[in-house]
Amino acid sequence: MTTIETVRISEKAKAQLIMLKRKTGIQNWNVLCRWAFCVSLNESSIPPTEKVQTDSSIEMTWKIFGGAHAEVYFALLMQRCKKDSFDLSTKTLNEQFKLHLHRGIAFLAANAKLTKVSILLGFIT
């Protein structure tokens, strides 16, 4: 059972996702967001704390974000929060998810080599 109800994206991340849709051919926001989240989790550093304005028109439920594996994504988030010595409060989990998601989107958008879906596979090894 997750404590994240709604996934919201910033305007900056929305523009980055639109560009990623063009570059990769992936048409669904939730699929790109899953990749971004996992790419960020794969980074050893803790995402920098920042105030992310989730002010774009992109919004989805946690179930849409995670699909059939929503509980797995939530478990990965919890595991990462434990590894980074964060408490597992609802507030912390929501904040860390938002930071990981937006860091991952920025990471994917900044990668000039990302021109097709198959290149995504090399990001998580």
CATH number of the CATH domain containing 58? 1.10.1220.160
Structural domain containing residue 111: 6-123
Spans in the chain with pLDDT lower than 70: 1-2, 116, 118, 120-125
Does residue 65 lie in a domain region?
yes
The sign of the CA dihedral 107, 109, 115, 120 is positive
pLDDT for position 113: 78
CA distance 43 to 68: 24
Strands (E), the chain: 6-8, 59-61
Does residue 1 lie in a domain region?
no
H/E stretch holding 87 reads: none
Query: What backbone phi and psi angles, to 5 degrees, belong to 58?
Result: -85, 120
Please report, in angstroms and rounded to a whole number, the separation of the first and last CA atoms in the chain.
28
* pTM score of the predicted model: 0.90
98, exposed or middle or buried, with CB in 10 Å at 0-12, 13-18, 19+? buried
Does residue 23 lie in a domain region?
yes
Does residue 95 lie in a domain region?
yes
Does residue 32 lie in a domain region?
yes
The CA radius of gyration of the chain, in Å to the nearest whole number, is 14
Give the count of domains, the chain: 1
Closest CA to 123 of 65, 38, 13, 25: 38
pLDDT for position 2: 63
Does residue 98 lie in a domain region?
yes
